[in-house]
């Protein structure tokens, strides 16, 4: 019997007070998408909700760290209706991977939050298997 393959579109988010990294997945691999610059919490919520409306994703994953940003990230996830996933060291890992890949410093700095979001989303995808 033939069963149709259902592909979900997921958005991974690396929340920050000034920059929010976004990654997308429509299968088993996450990829960096973009970085949104914000000035405050409310602006972050509004801008991400606008992105969600445009992308029409099935699920949103927000990375939660172990430091003082954890509570703010949880609050952010709740406001946008997202699930949370441990992101410990994702930004550090994103920096390391991009350096190892030979990426120029300027490009790394502009997209490192999106790469961190990619690692968060990929970790979520890998754990769901």
The answer, yes or no, to whether residue 108 has pLDDT greater than 70, is no
CATH superfamily of 10-127: YqgF/RNase H-like domain (3.30.420.140)
Q: What are the CA-CA distances from residue 77 to residues 28, 48, 113, 125 (Å)?
A: 22, 10, 17, 18
pLDDT digits (tens, 9 = 90+) for 111-127: 788 888 998 998 999 88
Burial tier of 99 (Cβ tally within 10 Å: 0-12, 13-18, 19+): exposed
Domain ranges across the chain: 10-127
- Cβ proximity of 24 and 124 under 8 Å: no
Measured CA to CA, the distance from residue 53 to residue 101 in angstroms comes to: 33
Least confident of 51-65, 84-98, 104-118: 84-98
pLDDT digits (tens, 9 = 90+) for 10-24: 999 999 999 999 999
């Amino acid at each position: 019997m033939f069963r149709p393959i259902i592909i979900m579109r997921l958005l991974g988010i690396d929340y920050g007070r000034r920059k929010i990294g976004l990654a997308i997945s429509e299968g088993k691999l996450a990829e960096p998408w973009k970085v949104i610059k914000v000035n405050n919490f409310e602006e972050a919520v509004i801008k991400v909700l606008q992105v969600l409306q445009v992308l029409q994703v099935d699920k949103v994953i927000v990375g939660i760290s172990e430091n003082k940003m954890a509570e703010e990230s949880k609050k952010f996830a709740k406001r946008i209706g997202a699930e949370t996933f441990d992101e410990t060291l994702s930004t550090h890992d994103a920096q390391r991977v991009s350096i190892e890949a030979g990426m120029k410093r300027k490009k790394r700095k502009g997209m490192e939050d999106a790469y961190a979001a990619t690692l968060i989303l990929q970790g979520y995808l890998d754990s769901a298997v």
